[in-house]
Amino acid sequence: MSKFSDVSDRQLIRQTIGGDVESFNSLVERYHGMVYNLAYRMLGNTNDAQDATQETFLESFKSIRGFKFQSTFKTWLYRIAINTCQQHLRKSDSRKRTMYSYTEDTKNIQRSTTGPTQPDQHLLKTEKEQIIQLAIGSLPTKQKTVVTLFYMQHLKYREIAEVLGCSEGTVASRLNTAISNLKNLLGRRL
């Protein structure tokens, strides 16, 4: 446990700007899980998520002097993490890979459940979660981001709008479109 566990984010930021690297390490410790979880949900694999998490904290350290205290550190960090993940998606053309993975993996999962023995309830639940995760991964980046922030990171519309720099109406619209696309993608599979 960090000696800074009771210190506010604002104080840690001020200390970091003043040159105290330990204060920044406390921020990393405090938010590492949140950033990694977001990166994993957006990128779909451990290696890319770890890379994006490291890049997010590196970028936040380089940019912390520009932090304006107009939003929370958490919101600011989400913004950096999302931008980092979107750069990864553009670089690796993951959207095409994910679309292929979704169709191929769901075929493989369906084949595995039609064998001579039916899997137990836990295995079925896991397979459904995999199918849903693959479908989310195949959404356009803006829709995937909103779904991830709302359903997996449990942010409210207002928080998502602040992170993405858009209106709550835009968040609602993207989420509704994403849900509609997921329904079309998943069809009767579940």
The three-class DSSP label of residue 146 is helix
**What's the total number of domains in the chain?**
2
Quickly state the pLDDT bin for 107 (edges 50, 70, 90): very low
List the CATH number of the domain containing 145: 1.10.10.10
Stretch 116-131: mean pLDDT, rounded? Answer: 60
Tell which residue, 180, 183, 149, has the closest CA to residue 166.
Answer: 149
Domain co-membership, 117 together with 64: no
Are 74 and 42 members of one domain?
A: yes
Q: Which tens digit of pLDDT belongs to each residue from 139-155?
A: 998 999 999 999 989 99
Rounded mean pLDDT of 83-95? 80
Q: Which residue among 60, 92, 124 closes a domain?
A: 92
How much is the pTM? 0.72
Q: Which two tokens stand for residue 79?
A: 């913004």
Domain enclosing residue 180, as ranges: 95-190
For the record, the structure tokens of 57 come out as 């904290």
Check whether residue 47 and residue 81 sit in a common domain: yes
Of 23, 58, 92, the one marking the end of a domain is 92
* Pair (51, 76) in one structural domain: yes
Q: Are residues 25 and 43 in the same domain?
A: yes
Using CA atoms, how far residue 133 sits from 25, 100, 112, in Å, is 32, 13, 18
Q: What's the DSSP call for residue 55?
A: H
Q: Could you tell me if 54 and 102 lie in one domain?
A: no
Is the domain of 100 the same as that of 85?
no
CB count within 10 Å of CB 62 equals: 9
Query: Which pLDDT score, from 0 to 100, does residue 127 have?
Result: 76
